[in-house]
Amino acid sequence: MSKKLVIVGCGSSGLITLKYALDELRDWEIVAYEASSKITGCWGRPPSGFVSTSTKYTTQFACYPLYDAHVRRDLSSASRSFQYPEFFCDGEYGEYLEKFANHFGLKKFICLNTKVSQLRRNSDGKWDLQLSHVSPPDVQSDQGSTEESIVCDAVVICTGLADAPKPLKAEAKVLTRLDFGDSIRNQKVVVVGGGESAVDVARRLAGPSLNNQVWLSVRTGIRVSPRYHPIRGVPSDFLRNRLLLSFDAGLRNVVGQRFVEFRMRFRKVLQRIFPANKKLRSSTQEENQYVRDQWALRLTESAKDSLFNMYHNKSDDFLGDVAEGRIRIIGGNSDPSYRRFYAFGSSDAMNIDPDLIVPAIGYASQLKALTNGEIAFRDFYLGIRHIEYPSLFIVGMTRPIIGNIPSISEMQARYIVFHLAKRLEETAVIKKIHHRNRIELERRFANLDTTNVYPVEMFPYCDQLAREMGCFPSLRKQRSPIQYIRTALSPATTMHYFNDKEMPSNSSPIFSPLLITLLLLLLKPLDWVIRACRSLSKVS
């Protein structure tokens, strides 16, 4: 009898897991259960005016590349898709996922409107799942839901995080769903949090036609990274290359911090040394750019941790609203009822007395409810594989400091099917390694919640998975030294791990200026010394 694999949840993580499972586990029976009636997950219903923070080029799956790394931005156009053509606008990512599922014929393996309500390991070492089938929203039925139990050999949990925001108790009304359209008007609203969701919600609420008063409450600073960089005016994603990312994290934290402050203080100098082409120069941005940069600097300077030890916020358009006074930045709440707040960077409290509080302070995992509290996220090696139960996996709960989630999910999905196909070397000491990893994770990301999510630096993390899977883009793996140099200098992408016979060779443009490349090469010997010292201290 063939073994059975169940994928729970089918947004981008579930879809990519299904694709690799069908490719690699040909003698398995594979099925994905999706609670909603769509396969596009949380990206399938973005608010109007949505622009992604990671680029199409870096976010697409390496096994289904539709977008290149050329910059086509045209600021003279009024249309958003011309102003941000390198990013997913409105429903574009949902459309990409639809195309992906159709291209690989995935839909026939997905049961929509089927929620996995319970997951439990049985005495045979298999998994018992409780399913509840609900009627699709467009079908009238008085049956409610029907229940079913199934058994399977392995499970991959892909239930996502975005639908489970952490709750907050306040005296004012607390908004729990973010699909409010333009129904909130003439209100005093405090959005709590400094992440991308928080600033996006604050922007929507601060639209001039809504007449709301909007405050953004951040306990400490925010690391704001620009979507488009002053160097050459290209997406920041395109300047991040493997050479830059090959440096020791400590060294990157120190040098990177200096560079970020320099960028905020001397934007014009950078723009003059590394000019963008004409189409990318904006005159409208210049008007409030100075105030935006001052706020970015203030927020960055009071950020609570080193540059690459906390999440970066690339939804930087909110700084325009701050500069124009539509969003006011304040500190944390000074009373438990969220009526009074500190002024930003001060111990003086002020009365705001909001009508509405919008919490955007992170996510609560659904794992506890799904497994009756029996399985904890912290027991997943690399945020992927359970250390006790080798047939239980998670995809998509990794959160990159800078980067994107779908292409990390792709690496995780590949890792899991390699594991199930027994293509990975088993280690007998996984618990010991996991324990050491956890200590390091909790030390490094001490200010982040590591109980529900696994914070990572995207490429060092993907490199680790790639090394285990034997697809690290080393000099030996590349077709030629020239190809190796191109890979090191062109925009970093997970496609570099798939740079084998099946994939076209890397022909992306190189945006990183020669001067910066030379400076990095000069710094390289220092990096080697630091790495050697770290290895020696680990051995001793």
Ligand X SMILES: Cc1cc2nc3c(=O)[nH]c(=O)nc-3n(C[C@H](O)[C@H](O)[C@H](O)COP(=O)(O)OP(=O)(O)OC[C@H]3O[C@@H](n4cnc5c(N)ncnc54)[C@H](O)[C@@H]3O)c2cc1C
Nearer residue to ligand X within complex by CB, 162 or 523? 162
The residue from 22, 31, 42, 530 that contacts ligand X (CB under 6 A) is 42
As measured in angstroms, the least distance from the Cβ of 220 to ligand X is 23
Binding mask 399-438 for ligand X (x = CB under 6 A): -----xxx--------------------------------
Report the alpha-carbon distance of residue 345 to residue 334 in Å, rounded: 13
Cα radius of gyration rounded to whole Å, the chain: 24
As measured in angstroms, the least distance from the Cβ of 448 to ligand X is 16
E-only strand ranges, 292-376? 312-313, 327-333, 340-343, 349-351, 356-359
As measured in angstroms, the least distance from the Cβ of 272 to ligand X is 30
Q: Name the one residue in this structure whose structure tokens are 């997951």.
A: 119
Edge-to-edge strands of the sheet including 327-333? 173-174, 356-359, 188-192, 213-217, 327-333, 340-343, 349-351
E-only strand ranges, 463-518? none
The residue from 6, 52, 100, 202 that contacts ligand X (CB under 6 A) is 52
Helix or strand or coil: residue 468? helix
Nearer residue to ligand X within complex by CB, 171 or 374? 374
- Considering only 11-19, 322-330, 373-381, 436-444, which stretch makes contact with ligand X by CB under 6 A? 11-19
CA torsion through residues 49, 53, 55, 60, sign: negative
- Considering only 39-47, 316-324, 424-432, 509-517, which stretch makes contact with ligand X by CB under 6 A? 39-47
Q: Which amino acid is at 448?
A: L
- Considering only residues 76 to 135 of the shown chain, the ones binding ligand X according to CB under 6 A are 115-116
The residue from 50, 418, 454, 461 that contacts ligand X (CB under 6 A) is 50
As measured in angstroms, the least distance from the Cβ of 419 to ligand X is 19
CB 439 within 8 A of CB 395: no
Nearer residue to ligand X within complex by CB, 221 or 406? 406
Note the maximum CA span of the chain. 71
The residue from 9, 165, 194, 473 that contacts ligand X (CB under 6 A) is 9
CB 326 within 8 A of CB 208: yes
Q: 33 phi and psi, to 5 degrees? A: -110, 130
Report the alpha-carbon distance of residue 416 to residue 305 in Å, rounded: 32
The residue from 6, 12, 329, 341 that contacts ligand X (CB under 6 A) is 12
Residues contacting ligand X: total by CB under 6 A: 33
Name beta bridge partners: 512. Answer: none
CB 497 within 8 A of CB 473: yes
The residue from 75, 134, 156, 158 that contacts ligand X (CB under 6 A) is 158
Binding mask 295-314 for ligand X (x = CB under 6 A): --------------------
Confirm or reject binding of residue 193 to ligand X (CB under 6 A).
no
As measured in angstroms, the least distance from the Cβ of 225 to ligand X is 12
As measured in angstroms, the least distance from the Cβ of 252 to ligand X is 21
- Considering only 28-36, 121-129, 258-266, 423-431, which stretch makes contact with ligand X by CB under 6 A? 28-36
The residue from 6, 18, 30, 36 that contacts ligand X (CB under 6 A) is 36
Edge-to-edge strands of the sheet including 380-381? 110-111, 29-33, 4-8, 154-157, 392-394, 385-386, 380-381
Nearer residue to ligand X within complex by CB, 230 or 396? 396
Nearer residue to ligand X within complex by CB, 48 or 123? 48
Confirm or reject binding of residue 11 to ligand X (CB under 6 A).
yes
- 334 by Cβ neighbours in 10 Å (0-12 / 13-18 / 19+) ranks as middle
CB 51 within 8 A of CB 35: no
Nearest to 410 by CA among 315, 310, 496: 496
Confirm or reject binding of residue 238 to ligand X (CB under 6 A).
no
The DSSP code for 5 is E
Name beta bridge partners: 134. Answer: 145
- Considering only residues 342 to 401 of the shown chain, the ones binding ligand X according to CB under 6 A are 366, 370, 396
The residue from 18, 19, 28, 43 that contacts ligand X (CB under 6 A) is 43
Binding residues for ligand X, rule: CB under 6 A, are: 8-14, 33-36, 41-43, 46, 50, 52-54, 59, 115-116, 158-160, 162-163, 366, 370, 396, 404-406
